[in-house]
Amino acid sequence: MQRRLSLASLTLAAFGAFGALGALGCLPAVEAPMDSGTPPVDAGGGDTAPVVTYTKDVQPILGVKCAPCHTGEGLGGHNIGNTYADALMPVSSLDAMGCWDSTLMVPMTVGACALISIMNGWMPMSMGCFNTPRPDPCVTLDQQAIIAAWVAEGMPQ
Ligand code: HEC
């Protein structure tokens, strides 16, 4: 809890310095973060494609792969591994590459940023997930495709 509080105050401080940082160009540029080639999920070819939901499809993945950091520890200010509402919050970490609009500096939601962070290998953190093939603790490409479909659907609960 202490860690979460201090992250939150860091974040507030960062927002205070936001205009200055933006003017100096110190914030990460976003280069078409959705262009990393994740194919849409093949829902089976029927016309009754099931909706990908957080509860049914996404939480069972994130609850494992993002534990314990985002299933109670609240690192980065969220517990997307077990708390649906946290997926809808705006991103707070200024170093979340690709999760901020490059021109307006508008943050994505944590849910959309989760997909970006998985795709670019940042999350799960410190697991070497930018390597090919990805090590075991990482989200697999099949799991990533499920999360991509969920984000594309507007992250239904
Ligand atoms: C070993 C711990 C750890 C694991 C496992 C982990 N994360 Fe993180 N995550 C962090 C930390 C620490 C931060 C804060 C980083 C920062 O602010 O620089 C963070 C930040 C984030 C953020 C940015 C949140 C914000 O509002 O700025 C997202 C999105 C995220 N993680 C998604 C995930 C996803 C999705 C998974 C699982 C697939 C995952 N993480 C697994 C430690 C972890």
The partner residues of 90 in beta bridges, in order of sequence, read 109
C-alpha separations of 79 from 4, 9, 63, 97 in Å: 11, 17, 9, 19
No. of H helices and E strands in the chain? 6, 0
Whether the CB of 74 sits within 6 Å of ligand 1: no
Q: pLDDT tens digits, residue range 8-48?
A: 443 333 333 333 334 444 444 444 445 445 555 555 555 55
Asked whether residue 49 carries a pLDDT value surpassing 80, the answer given is no
Whether the CB of 75 sits within 6 Å of ligand 1: yes
What residue type is assigned to position 63 of the chain? G
Whether the CB of 111 sits within 6 Å of ligand 1: no
Q: pLDDT tens digits, residue range 60-81?
A: 999 999 999 999 999 999 999 9
The set of long-range contacts for 60-63, using a CB threshold of 8 Å and a minimum separation of 24, is 61/139, 61/143, 61/146, 61/147, 62/114, 62/147
Q: Residue 151's pLDDT is what?
A: 97
Asked if residue 28 has a cis previous peptide bond (ω within 30° of 0), the answer is no
Q: pLDDT tens digits, residue range 107-155?
A: 999 999 999 999 999 999 999 999 999 999 999 999 999 999 999 999 9
Q: What is the pTM of this model?
A: 0.75
CA separation for the pair 148, 128 (Å, rounded): 21
CA separation for the pair 29, 102 (Å, rounded): 5
Q: Residue 20's pLDDT is what?
A: 38
Q: Residue 15's pLDDT is what?
A: 39
Ligand 1 centre and the CA of 75: distance in Å?
6
Ligand 1 centre and the CA of 125: distance in Å?
6
Identify which of 75, 106, 108 to mutate to test ligand 1's pocket (most ligand atoms within 8 A of the CB). 75
Structure tokens at 135: 């090590």
Whether the CB of 33 sits within 6 Å of ligand 1: no
Asked whether residue 88 carries a pLDDT value surpassing 90, the answer given is yes
Confidence of residue 1 (pLDDT cuts 50, 70, 90): very low
Whether the CB of 125 sits within 6 Å of ligand 1: yes
Q: Residue 105's pLDDT is what?
A: 75
Q: Residue 102's pLDDT is what?
A: 74
Q: Residue 39's pLDDT is what?
A: 52
